[in-house]
Structure 1
Amino acid sequence: MKRMTISGFCVVLLGILPISGLLAQPDKISRLEKELDAYATADTHRVQLQLDLGAAWRNTNPNKALEYYGTAEKLAKALDDTPRRAGAMMMRGWFTARRGDLAKGAAVIREASQLYRAAADSAGMIKCMNTEAGLLSMQGNNVDAMRLLQHCAAYYSARRDTSRLLSVLSNLGSCCTYLGKKAEAIQYREQTLTLQEARDDVAGMAVTLMHIGILQDDLYRGLSYYERAEPLLRKQRNENALAHLFNNRAEDYKRIGKTEKAMESYEQAIELGEKLGLKDIVAQVSMNIAGLYRREQKHERALLYLMRAKLFAESHGMRQLAVKCLVNLGYHNNCLGKYADGISFAKEALQYNDEVLDLYTRMCAHEVIYQANAQRGDFENAFRSFQKFKLLSDSLSSQSSRKRIEEFNAKYGAAEKQHAIDLLEKDRVLQAELLLRRELEAQQKEQTLTLLAQDLDLQRLRMGQKDAALRVATDSLNLAHKEQVLQNERLARESLLRWVFIGVSALLLILAGFIVRYLQQRRKQGELRAKAAEYRARSLAAEAAEMQAENERRERKAQELFSRRLIASQEEERSRLAYELHDTLCQDLIVVKNRLLMAIEEPDAREHVLEGVNTITASLEGVRRMSRDLRPFQIDEYGISSALRGMLKRLDENTPLSIQTDIEAIDGVLDKEKEITLFRITQEGVNNILRHAEATEASVRLQRRNGNVQLSIEDNGRGFDPAAVGGGGFGLHGIRQRVKMLGGSMLVASEEGAGTRLELEIPVVTDSIGMAKTEQLGVMHA
């Protein structure tokens, strides 16, 4: 009976649906999915394909199965296909319940049954009845579930429907197991196994063998059934059934004292339960692991698994399991000295138990309460709970025990109450000592388990290393094969190229013969032309030498003129700076001095001090302006692009000239000296417009094109005739010299009354400073 109490719930869920044909075979799933993708017509055949895919995914991926059933239901509803719609709804309701929403799942199944009833489909109604029985069993109502299942068995037996009869017999065996009717359960299981063997149903035989193993009183015999069932389940990839098998096998290992194997099987069951989203499996296995830790007095770990089992049981509507979790939570909290928590969990279990009506669980809850109250010193409440505990215990054991508790209550008086309290106090001290000793033993066992776990991890790591080495060897073989294939292809390609080379060489030899003959004929003519060309070359060389000498003379003259003008410009700038300093800064400083002297002599000197401050501020602004004119420091701080934008913006704001700018970011393209030269060129070009052009608008564009920096300055002024003025005045000549120093080229286009355009191109990198190419155009259209 104890094996059935712990394992019965796990096996109920295995028989709810037909086992044969539900296993997700990869080849079948792949074939169905390809057929579904290729079949685009929205008709009943597409609905059937979706139903078949849902059935194929049921045991390995319930979420995937639920998705296909939902899609099939919607399409069947649109096509008014009532039988297939009802079938999809029934399966959707079942999987909804399995995911924890029992109420919603039951409502969907009832709706499906009504559709079958409206269509007068008795077979469909029986299917819904079978599925509804599964939900009742999940809720613990196995009596009503058996009643429905017996109707289903009679229906399928009368119609000799062996496939569906197998499912019903399996479900009946599960219900009998949970109700403690062991003989009937074995009888149903043996009938199921006989029919499965006749049908050669390997998948169903595997599940039935596992159920028979659960019912065995001999634990070793039960383990042998599990060993027979496990390879069959793995072969069929029935992960749902494997999860239940691992849980039940772990229970048997726990009872025969093989703790390590039990824990290993529990972990396998939880892993599969979480993978498949089976909350009932996770809850039951967590409860069983807590029982294992209870035997080893590891209360903290037991509490963790019990809380997990409680949460899953409550979310899945498993009230009996939730009550058991609460009672055990109370027990372990008492063991840890958390008596208030222990009482709270036990009282919550009693509230649940009013619905479940499990006398044994109620007795355990009262036991937890009276022990916790006794430890806390609340002997009055402890005695009340003890009375209830003894009453339930006697009800479950024998009539004589009930009489003893009644006699004890009748004889109980004030004097003996105090004596009982003293005994309880002594018992509490002894229990505390015993608890301490057990905690020490538990710590030792925990250390042993930790060492065993580390050894297991080491073995797994070694296995992983071996697998990695095997994969490396396999990859090496594959790589060698690929290299051999590439080598053969390369040899074939080289052979082809060799023959092509031989053919081309032969053609080239023939062509060379014709070319030699042709060249011999041409050589004689070439010799004559060479003599004539030599004579012309000498004449041209003489003319070029004369022109070069003239150009050099003109260049030296231009350089001397530029140098004289540059010196004059420097002297002029120095004189201007001297006048600026004398007329502005010196005069302002004298005014400040006089203001400060007046402030010293006058009591109320605030106005004079403010005027002196304003004068100093204006002087500082003048000094900054002269500083900017002498050295464009913005280049060092912000870069050439920002410096040019700032200079042009100040000119636009402080002069009547309207300047349009298009300055691209060229920072870092040129070195600092070239950037300063470019800045001066731009400054001089705009100043020329201000001094000579009488323009109202101007535009400056700086961009990088084809690896060079291009600068364009254009105005709408009065213009000039470049030929008449010899290429421009001192300003244009200075710009031309600077462009020449940068190794660039300059183009001046102007016409009287039509404005002027300057176009410069400066190379970013040059091996040596080239000569500037300067051209002048006579006409430009603005």
Structure 2
Amino acid sequence: MSLFGRIFLLNALVLVAAANVLVFGPATVSTPALLREVLVLTAGLGVMLIANAVLIRIGLAPLGRLTRAMTTIDLLKPGPRLVAKGHGEIAELITTFNSMIDRLEAERGHSAAMALSAQESERRRIAQELHDEVGQSLTAVLLSLKRVSDQSPPEVREELVQAQETTRSTLDEIRRIARRLRPGVLEELGLVSALKSLTTEISAQTDITVRRSFDKNLPPLDAETELVVYRVAQEGLTNTVRHAAATEIELCLKRRPSHVELRLTDNGRGIGSSPEGAGIRGMRERALLVGAELGVGPAGARGTEVRLVVKAASE
């Protein structure tokens, strides 16, 4: 039965019941109406309204669940679909809503995959140009400064040596940026070596103590999943360094039955009730690309925990 038909039937039943009470009941209405009769009619009207409200509320309850789902749903946090309870158009509406969410998640996943693929390609291109073009140019400048410095008088040599050091520092920074844009260690030596290199770099550049642990005999991961794990760890470490005011970070890569778990915890100020920024949402988009589970929340009394669970390649 349609929604209109159900509401009409509920109201009709209440009105028919009230008419039967008036026709076949002992109560009558005088002219003018007596106080007792007015009280009886008022009470009957109140009962009718309450019964009508209760019946309509029961009939429209699934729409309330649908409304709450529509206001709280987040395509980056997939959850269980609504159960298509109700009758007529209500069940059909919930089913249509679930189908719409499925399509939106699929389209968003496809769009995110294309965007992230283009982003990685652009990162590789920029890293290659930094290494080949800018890096080689700075190396040539460094060699020229060294040659000029060797042939210069002592009063000028000190300034040239300082210029060499500045150029060398700039060259090192360019190489560091290129490594972060395109993790060559990941492609050549694998995920564990790339994570070790990443944490070593964080320790060398900051005062944060980084502890790391990696299970032996980790199950194999495909190249795309390894890149997702690396980028999530990279973004988590970057967020900790920039915002957490932490002194310690722990990075773990654990073996689970048919899964691999990345866990990153710190002892910083925590995320509190602040909304998720672009970095965390970017991690969620990457996790969705490989069907991984990502959790970001408090780590005990203080600090933040990032937990990523990915399926092994054999699954």
Identify the TM-score tier after normalising by the shorter chain: 0.5 to 0.7
Q: Assess, with a 3 A threshold, how the Cα gap between structure 1 residues 731 and 651 changes in structure 2: closer, same or farther.
A: same
Q: Assess, with a 3 A threshold, how the Cα gap between structure 1 residues 670 and 578 changes in structure 2: closer, same or farther.
A: closer
Q: CA deviation at 1:607?
A: 8.1
Given candidates 288, 297, 302, the residue that maps to 1:749 is 297
CA distance in 2 between counterparts of 1:575 and 1:635 reads 17
Alignment of 1:607-626 (within 5 A): 618=169, 621-626=172-177
Task: Report if the CA contact (8 A) 2:113-2:289 is conserved.
Answer: no
Q: Does 1:758 align with 2:306?
A: yes
TM-score under structure 2 length normalisation: 0.55
Task: Report if the CA contact (8 A) 1:748-1:759 is conserved.
Answer: yes
Task: Report if the CA contact (8 A) 2:222-2:313 is conserved.
Answer: no
Which residue in 2 is equivalent to 1:176? none
Counterpart amino acid of residue 750 in structure 1: P
CA distance in 1 between counterparts of 2:119 and 2:188 reads 31
Secondary structure at the aligned position of 1:739 is classed as: helix
Task: Report if the CA contact (8 A) 1:664-1:703 is conserved.
Answer: yes
Task: Report if the CA contact (8 A) 1:599-1:608 is conserved.
Answer: no
Secondary structure at the aligned position of 2:213 is classed as: strand
Alignment of 1:461-500 (within 5 A): none
Q: CA deviation at 1:700?
A: 1.2
Which residue in 2 is equivalent to 1:694? 245
Task: Report if the CA contact (8 A) 1:698-1:715 is conserved.
Answer: yes
Q: Assess, with a 3 A threshold, how the Cα gap between structure 1 residues 628 and 571 changes in structure 2: closer, same or farther.
A: closer
Alignment of 1:322-341 (within 5 A): none
CA distance in 1 between counterparts of 2:85 and 2:112 reads 40
Q: CA deviation at 1:669?
A: 1.0
Question: Which structure carries more strand by proportion?
Answer: 2
Q: CA deviation at 1:705?
A: 0.9
CA distance in 2 between counterparts of 1:635 and 1:568 reads 17
Q: Does 1:652 align with 2:203?
A: yes
Which residue in 2 is equivalent to 1:677? 228
Secondary structure at the aligned position of 2:172 is classed as: helix
Which residue in 1 is equivalent to 2:288? 740
CA distance in 2 between counterparts of 1:562 and 1:672 reads 14
Q: Assess, with a 3 A threshold, how the Cα gap between structure 1 residues 671 and 593 changes in structure 2: closer, same or farther.
A: same
Counterpart amino acid of residue 290 in structure 2: L
Task: Report if the CA contact (8 A) 1:719-1:750 is conserved.
Answer: yes
Task: Report if the CA contact (8 A) 1:661-1:699 is conserved.
Answer: yes
Q: Assess, with a 3 A threshold, how the Cα gap between structure 1 residues 595 and 612 changes in structure 2: closer, same or farther.
A: farther
Task: Report if the CA contact (8 A) 2:127-2:181 is conserved.
Answer: no
Q: Assess, with a 3 A threshold, how the Cα gap between structure 1 residues 688 and 705 changes in structure 2: closer, same or farther.
A: same
CA distance in 2 between counterparts of 1:693 and 1:758 reads 13
Which residue in 2 is equivalent to 1:505? none
Q: CA deviation at 1:718?
A: 2.1
Which residue in 1 is equivalent to 2:192? 641
Secondary structure at the aligned position of 1:665 is classed as: coil
Q: CA deviation at 1:612?
A: 8.3
Q: Assess, with a 3 A threshold, how the Cα gap between structure 1 residues 575 and 620 changes in structure 2: closer, same or farther.
A: closer
Secondary structure at the aligned position of 2:308 is classed as: strand
Q: CA deviation at 1:646?
A: 2.5
Counterpart amino acid of residue 284 in structure 2: R
Alignment of 1:263-282 (within 5 A): none
Q: CA deviation at 1:687?
A: 0.9
Which residue in 2 is equivalent to 1:709? 260
Secondary structure at the aligned position of 1:596 is classed as: helix
Q: Assess, with a 3 A threshold, how the Cα gap between structure 1 residues 752 and 699 changes in structure 2: closer, same or farther.
A: closer
CA distance in 2 between counterparts of 1:620 and 1:671 reads 33
Q: Assess, with a 3 A threshold, how the Cα gap between structure 1 residues 544 and 596 changes in structure 2: closer, same or farther.
A: same
Q: Assess, with a 3 A threshold, how the Cα gap between structure 1 residues 623 and 766 changes in structure 2: closer, same or farther.
A: same
Secondary structure at the aligned position of 1:713 is classed as: strand
Tell me how many residue pairs correspond in the alignment. 231
Task: Report if the CA contact (8 A) 2:262-2:308 is conserved.
Answer: yes
Task: Report if the CA contact (8 A) 1:588-1:615 is conserved.
Answer: no
Which residue in 2 is equivalent to 1:548? 99
Counterpart amino acid of residue 652 in structure 1: S
Q: Assess, with a 3 A threshold, how the Cα gap between structure 1 residues 601 and 617 changes in structure 2: closer, same or farther.
A: closer
CA distance in 2 between counterparts of 1:620 and 1:702 reads 32
Q: CA deviation at 1:750?
A: 3.1
Given candidates 216, 224, 231, the residue that maps to 1:665 is 216
Q: Assess, with a 3 A threshold, how the Cα gap between structure 1 residues 752 and 663 changes in structure 2: closer, same or farther.
A: closer
Which residue in 1 is equivalent to 2:278? 730
Counterpart amino acid of residue 633 in structure 1: G
Counterpart amino acid of residue 287 in structure 2: V
Q: Assess, with a 3 A threshold, how the Cα gap between structure 1 residues 648 and 540 changes in structure 2: closer, same or farther.
A: same
Q: CA deviation at 1:557?
A: 6.5
Deviation readout 1:641-696 (Å, 9 max, x if unpaired): 12212221221232122222112235661123322221112111111111222222
Secondary structure at the aligned position of 1:656 is classed as: coil
CA distance in 1 between counterparts of 2:109 and 2:226 reads 25
TM-score under structure 1 length normalisation: 0.25
Task: Report if the CA contact (8 A) 2:211-2:250 is conserved.
Answer: yes
Q: Assess, with a 3 A threshold, how the Cα gap between structure 1 residues 740 and 701 changes in structure 2: closer, same or farther.
A: same
Task: Report if the CA contact (8 A) 1:718-1:753 is conserved.
Answer: no
Deviation readout 1:551-574 (Å, 9 max, x if unpaired): 644775797689889989998999
Residue identity over aligned pairs, in percent, reads 23
CA distance in 2 between counterparts of 1:674 and 1:693 reads 27
Secondary structure at the aligned position of 2:296 is classed as: strand
CA distance in 2 between counterparts of 1:624 and 1:580 reads 7
Deviation readout 1:724-766 (Å, 9 max, x if unpaired): 52xx211111111211122211122238983221111111147
Counterpart amino acid of residue 279 in structure 2: G
Secondary structure at the aligned position of 2:284 is classed as: helix
Q: Assess, with a 3 A threshold, how the Cα gap between structure 1 residues 665 and 621 changes in structure 2: closer, same or farther.
A: farther
Q: CA deviation at 1:638?
A: 3.2
Counterpart amino acid of residue 244 in structure 2: A
Secondary structure at the aligned position of 1:673 is classed as: helix
Counterpart amino acid of residue 641 in structure 1: V
Alignment of 1:316-355 (within 5 A): none
RMSD of Structure 2 on Structure 1 (CA): 4.9
Which residue in 1 is equivalent to 2:270? 719
Task: Report if the CA contact (8 A) 1:592-1:612 is conserved.
Answer: no
Relative CO higher for 1 or 2, CA cutoff 8 Å, sep ≥ 6? 2
Secondary structure at the aligned position of 1:543 is classed as: helix
Q: Decide which structure has the larger Cα Rg and report it.
A: 1
Counterpart amino acid of residue 310 in structure 2: I
Counterpart amino acid of residue 719 in structure 1: G
CA distance in 2 between counterparts of 1:584 and 1:535 reads 64
Deviation readout 1:63-102 (Å, 9 max, x if unpaired): xxxxxxxxxxxxxxxxxxxxxxxxxxxxxxxxxxxxxxxx
